[in-house]
Amino acid sequence: MSIKHNTLAYAQQLDQQDPLAPMRAHFAIPKQANGRDEYYFTGNSLGLQPKLARAAVIELLDAWQTRGVKGHFEGDFPWLPYHEFLTEQAAAIVGALPEEVVMMNSLTANLHLMMVSFYQPNQQRSKILIEDHAFPSDHYAVTSQLKHHGISVEDNLLLWSPRAGEELLNYQDLWQIIEQHGDEIALILLPGVQYYTGQVLDMARITSAAHAKGIKVGFDLAHAAGNIELSLHEWQVDFACWCSYKYLNSGAGSVAGCFIHQRHVKNTELNRFAGWWGHDKSSRFNMDNNFQAIPSAEGWQLSNPPVLSLAAVRGAFDTIALAGGMPALRKKSLLLTQYLTQRLTAELSDKIRIITPNNPAERGCQLSLMVKLAGLDGKALFKALDENGVTTDWREPNVIRVAPVPLYNSFQDVYHFVNILKECLECR
Ligand SMILES: Cc1ncc(COP(=O)(O)O)c(C=O)c1O
Ligand SMILES: Nc1ccccc1C(=O)C[C@H](N)C(=O)O
């Protein structure tokens, strides 16, 4: 006999059939005051702590304690090449070749470093195109780059906006901007997944449309890395940057990732801000002040990296590998987010609107919810959820973001979330 879809038994059955269900035990799940696990749906902001990340950080602290400076050279994971232990896994996560990827710095810092190399305005091309609702840090980074080059923000910042009354970006508008201003645009910088709506952008198509006009293309993959499958190398993207603390679960402010396409990495003449960690490894300690860039993404490194954070990244990447990598995560993610969509639609379509695209190819884990009821404040609902053991996040002006994450969220989490949401709405 088949079980009804609106029952707990159905969610339990989905969990039993889920090959990734055992992965939850590899994470620390925050507790509610009553001692039960929180319903944690905020992997889109800060991923939970993998037990392997904790172990790797402790291992590193122990190495420091026992070896002192010799830790740079000794042990299973010496610090001097520590970032190299992460390269292959990072490359697999974003669909890149190892030489195209490096874990370094933070996301916004990497965006700046990439713009130093890939935004070089001249008389003909000086414009940068971003989306109108870009994450503030990206907006600030881009405008400050324009100012750094002494050119007018007003004349050189082009914005791709959703149409009046809509939330999602419409490609026709982008093609039109490219058609109209393509010869003046130096760089297009867009998100892989839009942080507010959860819309996945067609990075392959955008890249090829831009390249056809001679425009460089970079992506901010903060909400995409570890969430959806990416093929940066194949798509010919010029550069991309992402943080590691969301779907990559490496801890707040942990070391970020950076991708530079193979066709650029050997161009050691490419303008860049340099530091000694980007210099040829064999002569780094010759102290001759003759900079020679490593002919890979590593050539953009500045400093010797914060290895404590890199250790957390190592444990987090090992956890993803244990789950079978991105194809396995995405497979479950599609089912989990589809289940959330079905439950919300069945139970609450008169009260809640999902602004995230309905097409699974155009979204990752995250659904962005708006309250339809007149007079009901979405922020108050977000707080009510929190008081009832559900962690989501609120983004101004009007959205509750909910991200069931395939590594540690269960179908039962989703089932309970929709019930609690329903109760919170009913008591208002
Ligand atoms: C899309 C996007 N860009 C940039 C940032 C800022 O990143 P960071 O503080 O790591 O530089 C975030 C998140 O904080 C983000 O979601
Ligand atoms: N790093 C943080 C620290 C504090 C509060 C939020 C963040 C976020 O990362 C927010 C996220 N980037 C977002 O998409 O809103």
- Return the residue whose CA atom lies nearest to atom 15 of ligand 1: 222
- Return the residue whose CA atom lies nearest to atom 3 of ligand 1: 135
Contact 193, 223 (CB under 8 A): yes
Contact 187, 149 (CB under 8 A): no
**Tens of pLDDT, residues 338-347:** 999 999 999 9
Superfamily, domain 8-37+325-426: Aspartate Aminotransferase, domain 1 (3.90.1150.10)
Which residues are paired to 131 by β-bridges? 160
Domains of the chain, by residue range, sit at 8-37+325-426, 57-322
Pair type for strands 27-28 and 49-50: antiparallel
Binding-site residue set for pyridoxal 5'-phosphate = 107-108, 135-138, 220, 223, 245, 276, 304
- Return the residue whose CA atom lies nearest to atom 7 of ligand 1: 107
What atom of ligand 2 comes closest to residue 222's alpha carbon?
12
pLDDT of residue 427: 79
Distance 45 CA to ligand 2 centre (A): 5
Distance 332 CA to ligand 1 centre (A): 25
pLDDT of residue 376: 80
Contact 130, 159 (CB under 8 A): yes
Cis peptide before 327 (omega within 30 of 0): no
How far is the CA of 182 from the CAs of 114, 174, 235, in angstroms? Answer: 20, 11, 19
Q: What is the ipTM of this complex?
A: 0.96
Ligand 2 pocket at CB < 6 A: 45, 195, 222
**Per-residue confidence of the chain (428 residues) as pLDDT tens digits?**
689 989 999 999 999 999 999 999 999 999 999 999 999 999 999 999 999 999 999 999 999 999 999 999 999 999 999 999 999 999 999 999 999 999 999 999 999 999 999 999 999 999 999 999 999 999 999 999 999 999 999 999 999 999 999 999 999 999 999 999 999 999 999 999 999 999 999 999 999 999 999 999 999 999 999 999 999 999 999 999 999 999 999 999 999 999 999 999 999 889 999 999 999 999 999 999 999 999 999 999 999 999 999 999 999 999 999 999 999 999 999 999 999 999 999 999 999 999 999 999 999 999 999 998 777 888 999 999 999 999 999 998 889 999 999 999 999 999 999 999 999 998 76
Which residues are paired to 128 by β-bridges? 157, 187
Distance 46 CA to ligand 2 centre (A): 7
Is the overall model pTM greater than 0.90, yes or no?
yes
- Residue 425 CB coordination number (10 Å): 18
How far is the CA of 243 from the CAs of 2, 27, 110, 133, in angstroms? Answer: 43, 19, 10, 19
**Distance between CA atoms of residues 231 and 93, nearest Å:** 9
- Return the residue whose CA atom lies nearest to atom 6 of ligand 2: 45
Distance 130 CA to ligand 1 centre (A): 15
What atom of ligand 1 comes closest to residue 134's alpha carbon?
1
What atom of ligand 2 comes closest to residue 246's alpha carbon?
9
pLDDT of residue 336: 98
- Confirm whether 8-37+325-426 and 57-322 share one CATH topology: no
CATH class of residue range 57-322: alpha beta
Residue type for position 226 = G
What atom of ligand 2 comes closest to residue 252's alpha carbon?
1
**Ligand showing the shortest atom-to-Cα distance for residue 393:** 2
Strands (E), 229-384: 239-242, 257-260, 352-354, 367-371
**Ligand showing the shortest atom-to-Cα distance for residue 112:** 1
- Return the residue whose CA atom lies nearest to atom 8 of ligand 1: 107
pLDDT of residue 420: 97
- Return the residue whose CA atom lies nearest to atom 9 of ligand 2: 45
**Distance between CA atoms of residues 183 and 319, nearest Å:** 45
Residue ranges in 125-239 assigned as alpha helix (H)? 136-148, 153-156, 171-181, 203-211, 232-235
Helix (H) or strand (E) holding 127: strand 127-131
pLDDT of residue 1: 65
